[in-house]
Amino acid sequence: MIASEAETAGPLREYPGQLVLLGHPVDHSLSPIFQNAALRAANIPLVYEALDVTPAALRATMRRLKTSRAAGNVTIPHKIAVHDLCDTLTDLAAKVGAVNTFWFRSGKLHGDNTDVAGFDAAARALVGNDVSESRVVLLGAGGAAAAVLAAAEEWSSAQVRIVTRNGERGEALARRFPGFARVETSVERAIEGATLIVNATPV
């Protein structure tokens, strides 16, 4: 089921029972450091913890998190899988096909994607606010890559070249964003004239 952003937007009416980051591996993440600093500064009585969850254990983990009314973030390799488990998606998460932010409300799993706005802000900080004619090289074809394309799609005359080891996955992603995204098999050709190179791989 896909709901509109108006139906899913807005702050939670109460604190979640647990705040987590789901990924595999996730030990390298700095998110708990700055998230917990922010929680302490805001006097919010929660701890943000990183949970290393294998793909095989994801469904069982989400069932446990439902019982604790958890909320949090999702990183590699679970963004697409959590998207597929959601009962309700924001319009943007549905478009991207990946979720990086989730919460449980009334027993339902809700998903959103803040990677799109985050990438847009980072790109403008790097290349300047006028990103309309950017030539982007995108490494990868997963959930993070889809968020990059969703942002770049709004940049008027931008062009994106996708470089990925999985050609079929890359072509499928390009078809979802027709007109400005295409797969390039040669890294050397892809980077010619590039204004921005984005690593959306696990590396």
Instruction: Say if residues 114 and 143 touch (Cβ distance below 8 Å).
Output: no
Q: 66, 79, 95, 108: which one is catalytic?
A: 79
User: CB-based contacts of 121: which residues, under 8 Å, 6+ apart?
Assistant: none
Our answer to whether residue 95 is catalytic in this structure is no
CA contacts within 13 A on the Cβ side of 198: 29
Q: What is the C-alpha separation between 191 and 146, in angstroms, rounded?
A: 19
User: Residue 70: which of 21, 14, 17, 11 has the closest Cα?
Assistant: 17
Q: Quote the longest CA-to-CA distance of the chain.
A: 51
Instruction: Say if residues 64 and 35 touch (Cβ distance below 8 Å).
Output: no
Q: What is the C-alpha separation between 40 and 34, in angstroms, rounded?
A: 10
Active site positions, annotated: 79
